[in-house]
Amino acid sequence: MPELPEVETTVRGLEPVLQGETITRVTLHRADLRRPFPEGLGQRLTGATVTGLGRRAKYGLIETNRGDTLIFHLGMSGRWRIDPEEIGKHDHMVLETGHHRLALNDPRRFGSVDLVPTAELAAWPAFAALGPEPLGPDFTAAHLARVFKGRVAPVKALLLDQRVVAGLGNIYVCEALYLARISPVREAGTISKAQLEKLVTAIREVLESAIAAGGSTIRDYARPDGELGYFAKEWRVYGREGEPCGCGGLVERRVDSGRSTFWCPKCQS
């Protein structure tokens, strides 16, 4: 599933071709993705000018001058394609401007598209309960100390809870915990303030490095320009079961609630 770095990379790839452009045509090639497209989507977007692009958690945002924001989620296999030579069977929504054609491609159709009044974004149900952005100023060791206090749940599970921090996914949590030398199964409430400081720094470092590399391509993900994400080449533990760690230990894998966790028991405590 595309995680925060992949969505951020997608938004940055769309910005040069959409910012300030007027949408001249909207074509839907089916009625739904994971759920139906918003009623009147084409009418509300046609003729609208894109005034800004952004991201919240794992959602991309396209704001228009009509007071609406298009919210897209890439699901398991979604991606945007800029100026494709042909529209394929998995290009389910196509936006056209005076200069470009953008196709939302989603073979598995686990993604979603919503259109919400911009003034109501914060109260939109999917956003209302989200925690702070991990690259924003509100994500601090003090914040983690508050939400972890007294908790016996594993730290990895809490970091994947979008109410604790928005947008973190399995790959990047594994990598950040390794960088901070914290065991993924450690009880969250037992982690010291000094370790939480290291964890916040590690999360930011991993995410920023992943964004710089264009995200991680595992199966379907590609950037809007068609380039793959190359952060997978920098993975320290994820997907590396049985390989040596720099500390002399071996990377192990465990499965919790259907998710694989990769870690080094020797140096993560």
- Token reading at 246: 């720099």
Secondary structure element (H or E) that encloses residue 204, with its range: helix 193-212
Secondary structure element (H or E) that encloses residue 202, with its range: helix 193-212
Q: Catalytic residue at 58?
A: yes
- Residues 88 and 230 sit within 8 Å (Cβ to Cβ): no
- Residues 196 and 188 sit within 8 Å (Cβ to Cβ): no
Q: Amino acid identity, residue 203?
A: I
Q: What is the largest CA-CA distance in the chain?
A: 61
**CB environment 14-31: b (16+ within 10 A), e (fewer):** bbebbeebebeebeeeee
Catalytic option among 34, 66, 198, 259: 259
CB atoms under 10 Å from CB of 62, counted, come to 26
8 Cβ partners below 8 Å, 6+ apart? Answer: 55, 211, 215
Catalytic option among 2, 5, 134, 184: 2
Q: Catalytic residue at 3?
A: yes
Report phi then psi at 185, rounded to 5.
-100, 5
Catalytic option among 3, 6, 21, 175: 3
Q: Are strands 59-64 and 50-56 parallel, antiparallel or unpaired?
A: antiparallel
Total residues found in the chain within this entry: 269
Catalytic option among 55, 58, 156, 223: 58
Residue numbers annotated as active site: 2-3, 58, 259
